[in-house]
């Protein structure tokens, strides 16, 4: 009896794969890849079905593009997740082990991005009933995901929980792929076009130090300054800034793992008299500072809290002072749609995370703060991520010790490579007027000036 039930289940599985999953996957890849110059090989493993898509002209089997093979090991679950939401579903299916790619998943993602620019949307190949059914499922799924994201809004109490989900996975894990300075943000390379595979990892450290030095140059520090760092990470910027200028430095973090590491590094550098690192939300800090710096922390602020974030910068910054920020941004043209939806990074990598646009930043500034210059350094982020991704073999060792953390890192690498190829990363300077003109470098490097009263 049991064997018959198992046989029926196996038969049903084969029918679903052959008559539902294979056609869906075939239709999706046909509309996505087939009219492009890319070439993608597909194997649906349970059925043994094999297909080749693309090659409208030259194809992608060239020195600059790598041929890609997609293996789908669990087509039923893969299709279900992709129907719910392709943006999140592809990453969720990867997490579940539903698919793999050769030579690696990054090459598949890059191929899909290139092909997307050359082909018609997937929905155009569906019937009206199919489009309506698919849209209804996506609306329900999107509503659930949106509510999940809104629940993680960055209030003072929720921010600490959001940060713990990502940064408190363990310093040992982050040390496996970050450089020795433990800098977890876009570096600035001498030549970002050179592949990270051909350079030793000492160059990543040099590039991170170059980025830190660029930000410190924008701050124009001297021994009389008192700097507030919102989101001090593992302390590398604080230590280098004080070593170079002799200033005083107050750093804030809501990650206890980071705080413990950073305080130990400050002790080793004998800078306890100049550097004060606190476990404190930026909204609760007091005092007036001559300079403020915040490196890729604004993404943890949240859309609703952007005006408050900049008002606090203004409140904490002395008249005529300067703030320097580095941020990952969303292009203004996509920002409204981005705000209405959730995505893989918001759901799994940075809970409560939000990439502001330049327009959103500008409209959030209080009247006494003026953004002076912006420089885009997105190409440098792609290279930074390539370095981190190429450390993945070391991270795999950590899977034994921290399964969820290893998955988060894996997903972060995969999706961020997608984002940096299509998106922007910025650094900017915000002086409180009047102030000397600041230099901008982008992830976005940006400067704000506060007007003198």
Task: Give per-residue pLDDT as tens, 84-128.
Answer: 777 778 888 888 889 999 988 878 887 887 887 666 554 455 566
Rounded Cα gap, residues 303 and 1, in angstroms: 58
Total of domains in the chain: 2
Task: Give per-residue pLDDT as tens, 262-321.
Answer: 999 999 999 999 999 999 999 999 999 999 999 999 998 989 999 999 999 999 999 999
Residue 233 falls inside a structural domain: yes
- Pick left, alpha or beta for residue 224 (phi over 0 → left; psi -120 to 50 → alpha; otherwise beta): alpha
Residue 135 falls inside a structural domain: no
Residue at a domain's end among 65, 89, 123: 123
Rounded Cα gap, residues 381 and 109, in angstroms: 17
- What interhelical angle do 403-422 and 86-95 show, nearest 10? 140
Of the candidates 251, 252, 248, which has an alpha carbon nearest to the alpha carbon of residue 226?
A: 248
Q: Which range among 189-203, 340-354, 409-423 shows the weakest confidence by mean pLDDT?
A: 409-423
Residue 140 falls inside a structural domain: no
Structural domain that includes position 60 = 2-123
Please report, for residues 46, 250, 358, the alpha-carbon distance to residue 374 in angstroms, rounded to integers and kept in the order given: 51, 25, 9
My answer on whether 84 and 208 are in the same domain is no
Question: Does the structure show a pLDDT above 70 at 341?
Answer: yes
My answer on whether 111 and 225 are in the same domain is no
Which domain CATH number covers 182? 3.40.50.150
My answer on whether 365 and 219 are in the same domain is yes
Question: Does the structure show a pLDDT above 70 at 372?
Answer: yes
Which domain CATH number covers 115? 3.30.1050
Is the model more confident about 430 or about 23? 23
Which pLDDT band, with edges at 50, 70 and 90, does 435 fall under? very low
Residue at a domain's end among 83, 104, 123: 123
Please report, for residues 93, 125, 142, the alpha-carbon distance to residue 133 in angstroms, rounded to integers and kept in the order given: 21, 14, 14
Residue 236 falls inside a structural domain: yes
Residue at a domain's end among 89, 106, 123: 123
Residue 428 falls inside a structural domain: yes
Residue 248 falls inside a structural domain: yes
Task: Give per-residue pLDDT as tens, 122-146.
Answer: 445 556 655 665 566 556 556 656 6
Place of tokens 């693309």: 54
My answer on whether 84 and 177 are in the same domain is no
My answer on whether 178 and 68 are in the same domain is no
My answer on whether 194 and 77 are in the same domain is no
My answer on whether 114 and 180 are in the same domain is no
Q: Is the pTM of this model over 0.85?
A: no
Is the model more confident about 390 or about 54? 54
- Specify the pLDDT at position 161: 56
Residue 418 falls inside a structural domain: yes
Of the candidates 425, 420, 391, which has an alpha carbon nearest to the alpha carbon of residue 109?
A: 420
My answer on whether 109 and 249 are in the same domain is no
Please report, for residues 12, 68, 83, 267, 413, the alpha-carbon distance to residue 71 in angstroms, rounded to integers and kept in the order given: 21, 10, 18, 50, 20
Residue 92 falls inside a structural domain: yes
My answer on whether 286 and 184 are in the same domain is yes
Most confident of the ranges 147-161, 212-226, 371-385: 212-226
My answer on whether 290 and 417 are in the same domain is yes
My answer on whether 117 and 180 are in the same domain is no
My answer on whether 106 and 182 are in the same domain is no
| CB 424, CB 431: distance < 8 Å | no
Rounded Cα gap, residues 61 and 38, in angstroms: 8
- Specify the pLDDT at position 365: 94
- Specify the pLDDT at position 14: 79
Average pLDDT for residues 402-424, to the nearest whole number? 47
């Amino acid at each position: 009896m049991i064997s018959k039930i198992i046989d029926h289940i196996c038969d049903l599985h084969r029918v679903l794969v052959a008559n539902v999953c294979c056609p869906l996957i075939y239709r999706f890849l046909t509309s996505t890849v087939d009219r492009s110059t890319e070439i993608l090989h597909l194997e649906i493993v349970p059925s043994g079905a094999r297909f080749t898509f693309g090659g409208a002209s030259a194809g992608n089997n060239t020195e600059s593009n790598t041929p890609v093979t997609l293996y789908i090991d669990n087509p039923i679950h893969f299709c279900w997740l992709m129907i719910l939401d392709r943006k999140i579903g592809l990453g969720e299916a990867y997490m579940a082990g539903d698919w793999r790619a050769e030579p690696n998943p990054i090459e598949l993602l890059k191929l899909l991005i290139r092909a997307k620019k050359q082909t018609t949307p997937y929905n155009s190949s569906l019937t009206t009933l199919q489009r309506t059914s698919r849209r209804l499922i996506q609306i329900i799924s999107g509503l659930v995901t949106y509510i999940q994201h809104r629940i993680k809004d960055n209030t003072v109490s929720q921010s600490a929980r959001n940060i713990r989900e990502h940064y408190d996975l363990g310093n040992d894990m982050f040390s496996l792929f970050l450089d020795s300075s433990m800098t977890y943000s876009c570096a600035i390379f001498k030549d970002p076009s050179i592949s990270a595979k051909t350079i030793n990892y000492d160059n990543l450290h040099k590039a991170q130090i170059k980025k830190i030095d660029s930000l410190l140059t924008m701050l124009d520090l001297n021994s009389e300054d008192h700097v507030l760092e919102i989101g001090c990470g593992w302390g590398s910027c604080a230590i280098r800034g004080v070593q170079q200028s002799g200033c005083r430095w107050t750093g804030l973090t809501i990650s206890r793992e980071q705080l413990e590491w950073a305080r130990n590094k400050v002790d080793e550098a004998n800078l306890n008299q100049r550097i004060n690192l606190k476990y404190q939300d930026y909204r609760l800090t007091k005092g007036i500072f001559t300079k403020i710096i915040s490196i890729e922390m604004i993404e943890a602020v949240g859309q609703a809290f952007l005006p408050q974030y900049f008002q606090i910068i203004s409140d904490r910054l002395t008249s005529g002072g300067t703030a320097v920020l580095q941020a990952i941004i969303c292009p203004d043209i996509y920002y409204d749609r981005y705000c209405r939806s959730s995505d893989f990074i918001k759901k799994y990598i940075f809970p409560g995370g939000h990439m502001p646009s330049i327009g959103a930043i500008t409209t959030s500034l209080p009247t006494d703060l003026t953004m002076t210059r912006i420089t885009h350094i997105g190409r440098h982020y792609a290279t930074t991520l390539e370095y981190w991704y190429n450390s993945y073999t070391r991270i795999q060792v950590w899977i034994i010790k921290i399964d969820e953390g290893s998955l988060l890192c894996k997903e972060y690498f995969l999706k961020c490579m997608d984002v940096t190829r299509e998106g922007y990363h910025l650094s900017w300077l915000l002086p409180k007027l009047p102030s000397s003109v600041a230099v901008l470098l982008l992830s976005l490097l940006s400067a704000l000036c506060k007007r003198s009263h």
